[in-house]
Amino acid sequence: MDLASLPHDVRRAREFARAAHGDQRYGAHPYVVHLDDVVEILAGLPARDEPTLIAGYLHDVVEDTDVTLVDVEEAFDVIVARCVALLTDAPGESRKQRKAATYARLARVADGAPEARALVVKAADRLANVRRSVEDQNRRLLEMYRREHAAFRGAARRPGLTPALWDELDYLLEWTDEETP
């Protein structure tokens, strides 16, 4: 992805997120590698727009850093902040509890609502995670994503909204451990 070709506010969101995530790692990589992976997926979609790309860079910033939703709204706008709120895992004692609460919020997003961008970002985030897990042959993470896939798909997928993204995600997660592509 050519970062210079991204709109100014998208590049600003990248720098905002990069600074907020600081020294955090995504496996063996700086965290910004994951954020770039997500935005590269989003940038390849026909229905991409600036708020979606911005939310792609900011999707983990409230969950994983000291940045607040107020900070996001002040730096960008209310729609981006609402999307980031939907993308931020709900509190819970276990991953299963956090994801269940987050998926319930995503399931309530109305088709066509400005916040529906969060559904696209969440699918791109999951696809980036699964692609990286396949590349790294991380069977533990792949199995976790497989276990969660039905609930995740039921909450975030909408007919006609990024079908190619969902097709790839379904394909990558249907393999068994012995057959992982």
Our answer to whether residue 64 is catalytic in this structure is yes
> What is residue 180's predicted lDDT score, i.e. its pLDDT?
52
Q: Domain coordinates of the chain in residue numbers?
A: 3-179
With CA atoms as reference, report the closest residue to 131 among 51, 12, 38. Answer: 38
Residue 177: pLDDT over 60: no
In CATH, the architecture of 3-179 is: Orthogonal Bundle (1.10)
Residue 69: pLDDT over 70: yes
For 47, the 3-state DSSP assignment is coil
What are the tens digits of pLDDT across the range 39-65? 999 999 987 899 999 999 999 999 999
Spot the catalytic one: 64, 73, 148, 168: 64
| Spatial contact of 114 and 121, defined as CB atoms under 8 Å apart | no
| Spatial contact of 62 and 84, defined as CB atoms under 8 Å apart | yes
Residue 115: pLDDT over 60: yes
Spot the catalytic one: 9, 63, 89, 168: 63
pTM of the full predicted structure?
0.93
What are the tens digits of pLDDT across the range 89-111? 988 899 999 999 999 999 999 98
114 Cβ contact partners less than 8 Å away, ≥ 6 residues apart: 51, 79, 82
Residue 181: pLDDT over 60: no
Strands (DSSP E) found in the chain: 25-26, 29-30
> What is residue 46's predicted lDDT score, i.e. its pLDDT?
84
